[in-house]
C-alpha cells in the first residue's frame, strides 16, 4: 500500500519492482554549532533488500553510527537530518512525528547497540522488558507474550529460559546480556534490525557466538540487517554487501566478497591492506598516512585526496559520485569516464 507513491515517481523495470526494504537517498546529517554547521553524513545513498545483511564499515568519525541513528530516528539533538530521505518499504519515515517514529521502532525496525547494559533497563527483569515490548507492538495477551518471550530467549541460546526470564540484567554475563538484547530487538519481529557495533564490547570467543547467532536469526526470520561496525572481520563473516564510509560519505559499496578481495577505491585498498592477518608473517603493514579529516576541515573535492597515493588535480577540485566499477560501486575519479 505504501509502496505506490514511491513507485509513481519513475517507471521501473520488472526486476526493480520489488522495492527495497530500506532506501536511503542523499541523506545529510548536520550538527549546528555556534561556529558553523558540521556535516557528519553527507549525501549518503544506499538500499537494503529484504533478508539482506548490509555492513556499514568505517573508522571512528566516518559517520557510520550516525547514519544508523538517522534511519532509526534516534539522532541526538542538535543533530538533525538536513536533507535526503529514508524510506521503509517505500514509505518515508524521516519526517515522521516522534510518536509515529516510536511506533515504528521496535515493531518494524529493531535496534542492537554496542553496550548491552545501556539497552537494558536495570530496574526491570528481562522478562518484563521483552513482554512489554511484545505487548506494545503485537496484539497478544500477557500470558501469550510471556510464552513468546521464553521462546525468544531459548532461540537466542539462553539456557533454562523459563527460569532466567525473571532475572535482572546484572545477573547475566556480557555475552548473555547481548543475547537478551538481540531477543529484545527481534521479539516484535521487525523487518529491519539496526545493529550498531553489536560485538565490539565482547571478547573474541563470544563475538564469534554472537555473529553466528545474528546470522542464523536473520536468515531464519527473513530479517534485513544494517550492521554498523569498524571491524572488517565481522563484516566478512556476516554481511552480504558492504558500504565503506569515509568522512561522512560512502567511498565504496558492493558485494562483500568483491570489496574485500578486489577493492576499487584507494581508501578501501589501503584499509584492507592495513589490517593485520593471521596467516601473514611479520613484514611491515601497508599503512595509509595521516588520519581522517576533522569534520570542520573536510578537504574540497574527494575527502580522501590528501591521503590518497593516486590523487590528481580533479580529485582536489570535484567531488566524485559513486560509479559502477565491475561488481562494486566506488566514488573515485580513477574510474570515471574522461570528461
Partner 1 sequence: MSEFARRSDEEPPLEEGSEIASLEREASAESRIEAADRTSLDALARIWDHDLAYSFRRSPVTIVAAIVALLCIGGAVFAPWLAPHNPYDLAALELNDAFKPPAWTAGGTWTYPLGTDDQGRDVFSTILYGARISLAVGVASVVFAMALGVAIGLVSGYIGGRADAFLMRLADIQLSFPAILIALLIDGVARVLLPRDAHNEIALVVLVLAIGISGWVQYARTVRGSTLVERSKEYVQAARVIGRHPLAIMVAHVLPNVTGPVLVIATIHIATAIITEATLSFLGVGVPPTSPSLGTLIRIGNDYLFSGEWWVTVFPGLALILLVLSVNLLGDWLRDALNPKLR
Partner 2 sequence: MSAVATPEPHVERTAEAPLLELADVGRDFDVSKPWLNRVLEGAPRLLLRAVDGVSFSVRRGETLALVGESGCGKSTVARLIVGLYAPSRGSIAFEGVDLSTPGSRSAVPQIRRRMQMIFQDPYASLNPRWRVGRIIAEPIRVNRLLADEPSVRARVGELLRQVGLTPDDAEKFPHEFSGGQRQRISIARALSSNPEFLVCDEPTSALDVSVQAQILNLMKDLQQRLGLTYLFISHNLAVVAHISDRVGVMYLGRLVELADAKTLFASPAHPYTRMLLDAVPDLAMSGAARTPVAGEVPNPLDPPKGCAFHPRCPFANARCEAERPTLARAASGTQVACHAIEEGRLPPAHR
Residues in touch with partner 2 (CB under 8 A): 59-60, 173-176, 203-209, 211-212, 230-234, 236-237, 256-257, 260-261, 270-271, 274-280, 282, 284-289, 291-292
Closest separation between CB of residue 241 and partner 2, Å? Answer: 14
Distance (Å, whole) CA 103 – CA 3: 19
- Counting DSSP H helices and E strands in the chain, the numbers are 13, 12
Closest separation between CB of residue 273 and partner 1, Å? Answer: 26
Binding partner 1 by CB under 8 A: which of 12, 142, 294, 310?
294
Q: Count of CB atoms within 10 A of residue 222's CB?
A: 12
Residue 138-177 contact track with partner 1, rule CB under 8 A, x = bound? ----------------------------------------
Q: Which does 291 bind (CB under 5 to 8 A by kind): partner 1, partner 2, none?
A: partner 2
Q: Which of residues 120 and 311 has its CB atom nearest to partner 1 in the complex?
A: 120
Q: Count of CB atoms within 10 A of residue 147's CB?
A: 15
Distance (Å, whole) CA 178 – CA 43: 32
Which 37-56 positions form the footprint of partner 1 (CB under 8 A)? Answer: 38, 40
**Residue 93 DSSP code:** -
Q: Which of residues 111 and 251 has its CB atom nearest to partner 1 in the complex?
A: 111
211-216: long-range contacts, CB 8 A cutoff, minimum separation 24:
211/237, 211/238, 213/156, 213/157, 213/179, 213/182, 214/112, 214/182, 214/238, 215/53
Closest separation between CB of residue 74 and partner 2, Å? Answer: 24
Binding segment for partner 1 (CB under 8 A), chosen from 33-41, 162-170, 279-287, 316-324, is 33-41
Distance (Å, whole) CA 258 – CA 255: 6
Q: Which of residues 10 and 34 has its CB atom nearest to partner 1 in the complex?
A: 34
- The answer to whether residues 180 and 169 touch, using CB atoms and an 8 Å cutoff, is yes
Residue 194-233 contact track with partner 1, rule CB under 8 A, x = bound? --xx--x---------------------------------
- The answer to whether residues 39 and 51 touch, using CB atoms and an 8 Å cutoff, is no
Binding partner 1 by CB under 8 A: which of 173, 273, 296, 317?
296
Residue 232: its H or E element:
helix 232-238
Q: Which of residues 264 and 307 has its CB atom nearest to partner 1 in the complex?
A: 307
- The answer to whether residues 19 and 2 touch, using CB atoms and an 8 Å cutoff, is no
Q: Which does 118 bind (CB under 5 to 8 A by kind): partner 1, partner 2, none?
A: partner 1
3-state secondary structure 149-202: HHHHHHHCCCCCHHHHCCCCHHHCCHHHHHHHHHHHHHCCCCCEEEEECCCCCC
Q: Which of residues 121 and 163 has its CB atom nearest to partner 1 in the complex?
A: 121
C-alpha cell of residue 78: 542538535
**Residue 299 DSSP code:** P
Distance (Å, whole) CA 18 – CA 16: 5
Q: Which of residues 55 and 320 has its CB atom nearest to partner 1 in the complex?
A: 55
Binding segment for partner 1 (CB under 8 A), chosen from 126-134, 152-160, 242-250, 300-308, is 126-134
Residue 96-125 contact track with partner 1, rule CB under 8 A, x = bound? --x---x--xx----x-xxx--xx-x--x-
Distance (Å, whole) CA 89 – CA 22: 6
Binding positions for partner 1, rule: CB under 8 A? 31, 33-35, 38, 40, 60-61, 65-66, 69, 74, 76, 79, 98, 102, 105-106, 111, 113-115, 118-119, 121, 124, 128-129, 132-133, 135-137, 184, 196-197, 200, 294-297
Amino acid at each position: 500500500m505504501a509502496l505506490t507513491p514511491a513507485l509513481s515517481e519513475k517507471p521501473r523495470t520488472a526486476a526493480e519492482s520489488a522495492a527495497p526494504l530500506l532506501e536511503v537517498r542523499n541523506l545529510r546529517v548536520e550538527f549546528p554549532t555556534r561556529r558553523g554547521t558540521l556535516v557528519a553524513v553527507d549525501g549518503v545513498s544506499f538500499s537494503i533488500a529484504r533478508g539482506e545483511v548490509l555492513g556499514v564499515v568505517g573508522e571512528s568519525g566516518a559517520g557510520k553510527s550516525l547514519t544508523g541513528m538517522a534511519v532509526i530516528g534516534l539522532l541526538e539533538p542538535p543533530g538533525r537530518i538536513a536533507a535526503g530521505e529514508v524510506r521503509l518499504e517505500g514509505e518515508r519515515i524521516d519526517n515522521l512525528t516522534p510518536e509515529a517514529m516510536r511506533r515504528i521502532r521496535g515493531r518494524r525496525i529493531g535496534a542492537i547497540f554496542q553496550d548491552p547494559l545501556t539497552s537494558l533497563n536495570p530496574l526491570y527483569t528481562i522478562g518484563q522488558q521483552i513482554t512489554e515490548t511484545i505487548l506494545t507492538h503485537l496484539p497478544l495477551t500477557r500470558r501469550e507474550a510471556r510464552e513468546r518471550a521464553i521462546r525468544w530467549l531459548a532461540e537466542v541460546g539462553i539456557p533454562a529460559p523459563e527460569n532466567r526470564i525473571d532475572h535482572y540484567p546484572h545477573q547475566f554475563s556480557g555475552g548473555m546480556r547481548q543475547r537478551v538484547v538481540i531477543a529484545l530487538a527481534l521479539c516484535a519481529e521487525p523487518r529491519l534490525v539496526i545493529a550498531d557495533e553489536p560485538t565490539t564490547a565482547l571478547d573474541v570467543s563470544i563475538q564469534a557466538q554472537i555473529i553466528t547467532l545474528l546470522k542464523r536469526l536473520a536468515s531464519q526470520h527473513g530479517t534485513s540487517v544494517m550492521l554498523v561496525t569498524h571491524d572488517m572481520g565481522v563484516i566478512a563473516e556476516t554481511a552480504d554487501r558492504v558500504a565503506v564510509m569515509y568522512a561522512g560519505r560512502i567511498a565504496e559499496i558492493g558485494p562483500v566478497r568483491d570489496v574485500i578481495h578486489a577493492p576499487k577505491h584507494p581508501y578501501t585498498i589501503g584499509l584492507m591492506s592495513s589490517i593485520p592477518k593471521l596467516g601473514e608473517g611479520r613484514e611491515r603493514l601497508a599503512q595509509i598516512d595521516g588520519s581522517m579529516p576533522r569534520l570542520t576541515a573536510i578537504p574540497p573535492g574527494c575527502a580522501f585526496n590528501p591521503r590518497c597515493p593516486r590523487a590528481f588535480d580533479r580529485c582536489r577540485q570535484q567531488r566524485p559520485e559513486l560509479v559502477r566499477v565491475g561488481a562494486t560501486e566506488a566514488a573515485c575519479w580513477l574510474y570515471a569516464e574522461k570528461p
